[in-house]
Amino acid sequence: MATKKLDFEQSMARLEEIVALLEKGEAPLEQSLALFEEGTKLMANCSALLDKAEQKVSLLKVGDQGQPEEVPFDTEE
């Protein structure tokens, strides 16, 4: 599973799923280890996403063709 492509919501959902699967304790050893490895990667991914987090705020501008364009929004007063 390509964990890099998952956004935070998906990563968290998969991580919670993996923990639940492991906690059920029904998976054979090899599968458990694979799940564990996937889980640790997801955790790293989520932590990294949580760490970087500098909020981006834009203002919507409607382009000539009606398409959405974004310009920086001055968040200071």
The burial class, CB within 10 Å (0-12 / 13-18 / 19+), for 11 is buried
Q: What's the CA dihedral at 26, 31, 37, 41 to 10 degrees? A: -80
**Is residue 57 within the footprint of other proteins (CB under 8 A)?**
yes
**Is residue 5 within the footprint of other proteins (CB under 8 A)?**
no
Question: Footprint of other proteins on residues 6-35 (CB under 8 A)?
Answer: 7-9, 12, 15-16, 18-19, 22-23, 25, 27-29, 32-33, 35
Packing angle, helices 8-24 and 29-52, rounded to 10: 150
Write down the residue that tokens 């200071």 correspond to.
76
**Is residue 64 within the footprint of other proteins (CB under 8 A)?**
no
Binding stretches for other proteins (CB under 8 A): 7-9, 12, 15-16, 18-19, 22-23, 25, 27-29, 32-33, 35-36, 39-40, 43, 46-47, 49-50, 52-60, 62, 67-68, 70, 73, 75, 77
